[in-house]
Amino acid sequence: MNEYGQCNAPAGPFVSVSAGAYHSCALRPDGVVACWGYNLHGQAVAPAAAFVQISSGGRHSCGLRDDGSLQCWGSNSHGQSDAPSGSFLKISAGARHSCALKDDLDVVCWGQDAHNQLFGPATDNPNYSPEQIEAWILSSGARHSCQVDPSQQLHCWGADIDGQTATPAGEFVAVSAGGFHSCGIRLDGYARCWGRNSFGQSSPPQGYTYILIAAGAYHSCALQEDGTTHCWGLNDWGQSIPPSQQ
């Protein structure tokens, strides 16, 4: 689907990209953010500032500056763009809420709280190394969020109507919170998804190992070490067919 130009990516180079509901943002090597797609709420007009991390949500976007401060832009219907002050290490924008990892390793969330999605888990070990903290994964979905902490433990919180926060046992190295499901990569590289599976979005292909994974609204994608991408789930707009397979 490209109704709002959300698939019209600008020319690079870029170092990272984040896709929201109907818009996307990407980070250039100099820290400048480029956004495109649906812009009714200003979510595709990034501030003229340098960032080190970005995240696109439902109708808003957030960025982390190199001084540790946060800035969000776009819709603020539920306070999802009212980023708190302080020093942070990670940022993740969901549909109507946002979450960030503070430098004291507490997870802080703001915005809509209809499903307790603002109450993240407490940090068990405040003495993680910088390398362990760098590997910390934080991901916000439609009404829930997930994280993989440095001890490779998986935590999800918020709405659990479809079991999207009912985390499976085991050690994980990656996680992504989607619309009503979540997906993660185990320590052995195999993908595991849980939650709503109405279109097969929680049924990853078997027999493959991955290094990156992303859960969307009703589909999921994962990247193998050799660069091959697999997607599964709803494909009404071609979102589950990677470009190399079209």
**pLDDT tens digits for range 94-139:** 999 999 999 999 999 999 998 899 988 888 777 899 999 999 999 9
Sheet with 16-19: list strands edge to edge. 16-19, 23-27, 33-37
Residue-level pLDDT at 199: 98
Residue 182 has pLDDT above 60, yes or no: yes
Distance of CA 241 to the CA centre of its chain: 20
Residue 246 has pLDDT above 70, yes or no: no
Q: What are the sequence ranges of the domains in the chain?
A: 1-112, 130-246
Which fold is adopted by the domain 130-246? Methylamine Dehydrogenase; Chain H (2.130.10)
Q: In whole angstroms, what is the distance from residue 107 CA to residue 103 CA?
A: 9
**pLDDT tens digits for range 126-136:** 789 999 999 99
CB-based contact 8:34 (threshold 8 Å): no
Residue-level pLDDT at 245: 60
| The architecture CATH gives domain 1-112 | 7 Propeller (2.130)
This prediction has a pTM of 0.94
Q: Which of 134, 161, 166, 139 is nearest to 150 (CA)?
A: 134
Q: Where are the beta strands (DSSP E) in the chain?
A: 16-19, 23-27, 33-37, 53-56, 60-64, 70-74, 88-93, 97-102, 107-111, 137-140, 144-148, 154-158, 172-177, 181-186, 191-195, 212-215, 219-223, 229-233
Query: If you search the block for the tokens 């302080």, which residue do you land on?
Result: 86
Q: In whole angstroms, what is the distance from residue 103 CA to residue 108 CA?
A: 11
Q: How far is CA 214 from CA 41, 48, 139, 237, 246, in A?
A: 25, 28, 10, 17, 20
Q: Average pLDDT, whole number, for the chain? A: 95
Q: In whole angstroms, what is the distance from residue 217 CA to residue 126 CA?
A: 34
Q: In whole angstroms, what is the distance from residue 193 CA to residue 146 CA?
A: 12
- Is residue 133 within a helix (H) or strand (E), and if so which, with residue range? helix 130-134
- Is residue 131 within a helix (H) or strand (E), and if so which, with residue range? helix 130-134
